[in-house]
Amino acid sequence: MAKTKRQHFVPRHYLKGFSKLNGKQHFLYTYNKENGKIFPANIKDIGHENYFYDISENQEIEKSLSDLESEFNIVLQKLIKNKELSVLSTKEKKVLSKFIALQHLRTKESRINLEQISKRLFNKIKDNIPNSDNLDVEIDKDELRDTHVEIMFELTDELSEIMLNEMSWKLCVNNTDTPFWTSDHPCASYNELDPESHKSNMGLRCKGFQLHFPLSDELLLILMAPVKLSDLKRSRNVKSEEMKNLIDKICEKNDLDLSSVLLSKEYVNQKRVDFENNLQVVSSTQFIFSSKNDFPIADTFLDENPEYKNKNRKRIGND
């Protein structure tokens, strides 16, 4: 059996939801953040890298990922058809959460983060080594790949359990003319709370953390960690006037968790779609994908935040 050279970190089953049929092939529009160029692409030609996971003869990693992707696709199609989280069984929600957890870990963006963390740790250690000023670290690409894959399989079940049992789920339905976008790293992290000094608040168990995951150009899932409305009221980052008004009104009588005052399904307006699409601009490594050739808000956002154009940008802070 021929070895699979082109290994996807964004699966084709998933990308179909953001594409249009052209004959028997699925095509979508790809936006390159580095240069602003837009081009149509077959879903089989994007979101992949040669031997991204393994180069072994039996390629067991690629096969195990393919099995999960097939299970996920069944659940995804059911959700797209019904547009209701309530139609999913516990088993189906577990499949969905496991796929999202894996997708959160498997991309090129995750590998770049791992590489930068490794280099940062080396530099911290180097500070305590005499005469080490001229030392530099080079990460072996094969070792980096193997470590990344090991982390993927070690953490997927743990993250999936957190998503399934500790986070609230909310479905966003898009009835506007602007589709939801996805990207080469579709799991977008967000938190309206102010981070503590020298600490990240972008972990699944961080108070107020949200994971925004587009399911198709019409559906988007938000997974939310617990957060009290009073915490949001104190935060300087709450930009939505609707959210501010809701918090002010409810906090007069109760201090509830945000999830208890939100509906499990929301029909989103144009402003909200633009917000979600800009999250994909931030989370992506280099490429954004859409069923339409319409990326003006990406141009505007990147003009105002040019650091996100650079796929080699620094992800890890100095401290």
Q: How far is CA 121 from CA 47, 116, 130, in A?
A: 29, 9, 17
Domain boundaries, the chain: 6-309
| CA distance linking residue 76 with residue 62, whole number of Å | 20
Tell me the mean pLDDT in the region 177-202: 90
pLDDT (0 to 100) of residue 307: 95
- Asked if residue 255 has pLDDT above 80, the reply is no
Tell me the mean pLDDT in the region 97-106: 96
pLDDT (0 to 100) of residue 63: 80
pLDDT (0 to 100) of residue 191: 92
- Asked if residue 221 has pLDDT above 50, the reply is yes
Strands 20-22 and 25-32: antiparallel
- Asked if residue 319 has pLDDT above 50, the reply is no
- Asked if residue 3 has pLDDT above 80, the reply is no
Radius of gyration for the alpha carbons in the chain, expressed in angstroms and rounded = 20
Tell me the mean pLDDT in the region 247-271: 79
The DSSP output letter for 57 is S
Cα 167 versus chain centre, distance: 16
Strands 168-174 and 265-268: parallel
Provide the 3-class DSSP secondary structure of residue 124: helix
In this prediction, residue 42 has a pLDDT band, given cuts at 50, 70 and 90, of: very high
Tell me the mean pLDDT in the region 107-125: 87
